[in-house]
């Protein structure tokens, strides 16, 4: 098993800064913008991006979390998933531009589940997707609007995002045979 580091802490910081600027530019400012992270690391990334967007724009940006566990189509294969809390910021998502934030975009199934979960919460004006890593291999017609790093990978490789808040270190690694 070989492991190689593809993003170090400075690379992650640069990617999140770029994503934050792109979100602000795409939305034409911070108005009616809500960031929702997908647990676990997507929530941490959403908080970081929210902080950066607020710093750049001078206006607070609501950040929350959306659990997709019960909306997944693979629960029969992995029934022991523990649901995480969903935290929708005050003011909700109706009529807002919601940016879903996740660490790694792979098949697109987690994002499909997040879109289903959003329907139960409200009706956003638009939904965008930010991913720190897009590794390809999509099974559904889903693509990110904001990407930190496109990382072509083999299906049997695994991509790990480690963040200081959850893992005590910052890196994106890829493991393969």
Residue 44 pLDDT greater than 70, yes or no: yes
Distance CA 172, CA 153 (A): 13
Neighbours of 88 (CB within 10 A): 17
| Predicted confidence band of residue 81 (pLDDT cuts 50, 70, 90) | low
Do residues 175 and 158 make contact, with C-beta atoms less than 8 angstroms apart?
Answer: yes
What token pair was written down for 8? 């170090």
The average confidence (pLDDT) of the chain is 94
Q: Concatenate the DSSP letters of all residues of 101-136 into one string.
A: EEEEESSSHHHHHHHHHHHHH---SEEEEEEEEE--
Distance CA 159, CA 161 (A): 7
Q: Which domains does the chain have, with CATH numbers?
A: 2-71+86-176 (3.40.50.2020)
Can you give the pTM of this predicted structure?
0.94
């Amino acid at each position: 098993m070989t492991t190689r580091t593809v993003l170090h802490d400075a690379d992650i910081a640069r990617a999140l800064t770029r994503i934050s600027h792109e979100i602000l530019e795409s939305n034409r400012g911070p108005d009616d913008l809500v960031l929702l992270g997908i647990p676990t690391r997507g929530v941490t990334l959403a908080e970081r991006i929210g902080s950066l967007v607020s710093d750049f724009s001078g206006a607070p940006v609501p950040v929350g979390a959306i659990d997709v566990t019960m909306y997944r189509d693979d629960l029969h294969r992995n029934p022991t998933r523990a649901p995480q809390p969903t935290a929708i910021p005050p003011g909700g998502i109706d009529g807002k531009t919601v940016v879903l934030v996740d660490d790694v975009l792979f098949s697109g199934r987690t994002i499909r589940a997040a879109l289903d979960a959003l329907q139960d919460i409200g009706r956003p004006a638009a939904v965008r997707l930010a991913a720190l890593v897009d590794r390809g291999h999509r099974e559904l017609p889903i693509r990110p609007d904001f990407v930190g790093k496109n990382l072509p990978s083999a299906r049997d490789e695994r991509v790990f995002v480690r963040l200081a808040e959850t893992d005590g270190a910052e890196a994106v690694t890829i493991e393969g045979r």
